[in-house]
Amino acid sequence: MKIVIIDYGAGNIKSIQFAFKRLGYDAILSNNPEEIKAADKVIFPGVGEASSAMQMLKESTLDALIPTLTQPVLGICLGMQLLCKATEEGNTTGLGIFDVQVKRFENTVKVPQMGWNTISDLKSDLFKGIKNQEFMYLVHSYYAENCNEAIATTNYGLAYASALQKDNFYGVQFHPEKSSIAGEEILKNFLNL
């Protein structure tokens, strides 16, 4: 199986590569459109600030490529948020796969949310064998609103979409590569989609 992690200069991608290695798979880091198109599975990572990440995507023309992909694509953290319609962070227009807005947490909670929280209302094969209320590691100041495309929700001041799916596109707000054994199970499930 050919796994490509999109390398557009945003954040900690080594950890995702290592997580696949622990599962026994070699994932390739690439920003080459042909290589990404030819992959069986594509990981769209992202850590950092939305508008500068989107700028980097545009500079490498990957913003046009990603929505045309037909194999399973998994957006992680900011990667998931960039697959949404728009985000309040830097007033950034997203790739528009998921029909949902990304908003900043209100100051009634500490921002960023940082740490382990539970995922509920699990609705996809991505979560096969994962128990309701499993703990995942999250670090984020912006969240996708709960919506029809939500396949998991998390509570932090309010219930929001901590995972999304539309067709072959999946997105998770949490970091499966940093979420212990359960997180690795989710990555394994993604490879089996």
Six-digit token pair at 18? 């290592």
Min separation Cβ 99 and other proteins, Å: 25
34 is catalytic: no
Min separation Cβ 74 and other proteins, Å: 17
Six-digit token pair at 169? 């596109």
Question: Which residue in 61, 132, 148, 155 binds other proteins (CB under 8 A)?
Answer: 155
Please state, in angstroms and rounded to a whole number, the distance separating the CA atoms of residues 39 and 123: 25
Q: ∠ CA 130-98-121 to the nearest 5 degrees?
A: 30
Question: Which residue in 45, 75, 171, 183 binds other proteins (CB under 8 A)?
Answer: 183
Give 193: exposed, middle or buried? Use CB within 10 Å, 0-12, 13-18, 19+.
middle
Contacts of 67 (CB under 8 A, 6+ apart): 95, 96, 97
Q: State yes or no: residue 118 binds other proteins (CB under 8 A).
A: yes
Min separation Cβ 118 and other proteins, Å: 7
Question: Which residue in 68, 70, 91, 107 binds other proteins (CB under 8 A)?
Answer: 107
Min separation Cβ 119 and other proteins, Å: 12
Contact 104, 88 (CB under 8 A): yes
Q: State yes or no: residue 131 binds other proteins (CB under 8 A).
A: no
140 is catalytic: no
Contacts of 147 (CB under 8 A, 6+ apart): 98, 99, 100, 161, 164
Catalytic entry in 106, 175, 184, 185:
175
Binding span for other proteins by CB under 8 A among 33-41, 96-104, 136-144, 164-172? 136-144
Binding-site ranges for other proteins (CB under 8 A):
11-12, 14-15, 18-19, 21-22, 47-49, 78, 107, 110-118, 135, 137, 139-141, 155-156, 175, 177-181, 183-184
